[in-house]
């Protein structure tokens, strides 16, 4: 695997208040919500999700909605609120809100919090990623115990971090980022068998396309820090997207041909095949 530069620099983005922008359109009445102060994109497929000031991250699919909100006081704590089939569950988790995604069926809810630091571009940051299964109310507060294979060998490291989970339609296979020793890996994991393998380097915050064939992700580049790419899962070919500005987020798919993302208080789309140009979305 190619060697990567260390994760460094300072770009504080995680927990600031800001107005939210709604974005409607695309297949299955896709909805995108953006937290304007940070540029984070919050995505719901199938129906609109109300934007509550109490929710720092919100996601929904099918009959499930999820909210990740910061609680007052120290040490930093978040509350994960999941409503599935009309029933609400709540869990308190140490950390600062970062990522939240509901699987297409609405069954699986994945979340990431910062345990230390508040940005993926801050030296020494640490994350904790967990999964909540709405079918049996099983909460895995951390996936760090999943056996990980890198280069055909079982991988062990005290600094291993995971973030940016995206589930496939079977509610068992998921992709995510694993980071250790200054390198980031795209991993493919199986929730049922609880095992994971690294597929390639330099992939962060993967987001699966509606047809399950491609991943939108951010790649560390020079001068960087990131550029959006799309990975074809059949060929493992990467396509750099026409957006050359750095986007620090888990991108979304308004439809099978388009990648959406937020920058400051604007909503943007760009063709998923690498053609362009990026377009700001208004209205």
* pLDDT tier at 120, thresholds 50, 70, 90: low
CA distance 254 to 164: 18
- CATH classification for the domain delimited by 94-281, as one of 2.120.10.30, 3.30.429.10, 2.60.40.1180, 2.40.30.10: 2.120.10.30
Cis preceding-peptide flag for 28 (omega within 30 of 0): no
Q: Which residues pair with 130 in a beta bridge?
A: 111
Number of Cβ within 10 Å of residue 240's Cβ equals 13
Residue 54 has a pLDDT of: 77
pLDDT for position 57: 84
C-alpha to C-alpha distance for 29 and 26, rounded to whole angstroms: 6
SS3 28: helix
Percent of the chain's residues with pLDDT above 70: 77
Exposure of 129 by Cβ count < 10 A (0-12 exposed, 13-18 middle, 19+ buried)? buried
Does the structure show a pLDDT above 50 at 143?
A: yes
Outline where DSSP puts E strands in 39-125.
Answer: 40-45, 57-61, 64-71, 77-84, 87-94, 96-102, 108-116
What's the pLDDT score for residue 267? 82
pLDDT at 253 over 80: yes
Return the minimum-mean-pLDDT range out of 33-42, 94-103, 175-184, 200-209: 33-42
157-187 residue pLDDT tens: 999 999 999 999 999 999 999 999 989 999 9
């Amino acid at each position: 695997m190619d060697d990567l530069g260390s994760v460094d620099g300072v770009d504080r983005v995680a927990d600031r208040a800001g107005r939210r922008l709604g974005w409607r359109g695309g297949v299955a009445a896709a909805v995108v919500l953006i937290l304007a102060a940070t540029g984070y994109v919050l995505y719901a497929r199938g129906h609109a999700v109300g934007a509550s000031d109490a929710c720092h991250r919100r996601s929904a699919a099918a009959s499930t909605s999820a909210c990740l909100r910061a609680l007052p006081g120290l040490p930093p704590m978040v509350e994960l609120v999941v409503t599935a089939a009309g029933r609400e569950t709540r869990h308190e988790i140490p950390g600062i809100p970062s990522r939240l995604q509901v699987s297409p069926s609405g069954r699986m809810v994945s979340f990431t919090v910062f345990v230390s630091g508040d940005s993926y571009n801050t030296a020494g940051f640490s994350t904790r990623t967990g999964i909540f299964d709405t079918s049996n109310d099983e909460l895995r507060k951390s996936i760090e115990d999943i056996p990980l294979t890198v280069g055909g060998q079982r991988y062990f490291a005290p600094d291993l971090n995971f973030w940016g989970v995206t589930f496939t339609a079977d509610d068992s296979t998921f992709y995510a980022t694993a980071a250790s020793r200054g390198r980031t890996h795209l991993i493919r994991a199986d929730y049922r068998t609880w095992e994971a393998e690294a597929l390639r380097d330099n992939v962060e915050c993967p987001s699966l396309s509606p047809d399950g064939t491609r991943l939108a992700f951010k790649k560390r580049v020079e001068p960087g820090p990131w550029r959006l790419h799309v990975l074809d899962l059949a060929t493992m070919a990467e396509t750099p997207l026409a957006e050359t500005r750095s986007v620090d987020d888990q991108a979304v798919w308004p439809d099978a041909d388009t990648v959406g993302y937020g920058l400051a208080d604007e909503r943007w789309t760009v063709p998923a095949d690498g053609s362009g140009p990026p377009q700001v979305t208004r209205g």
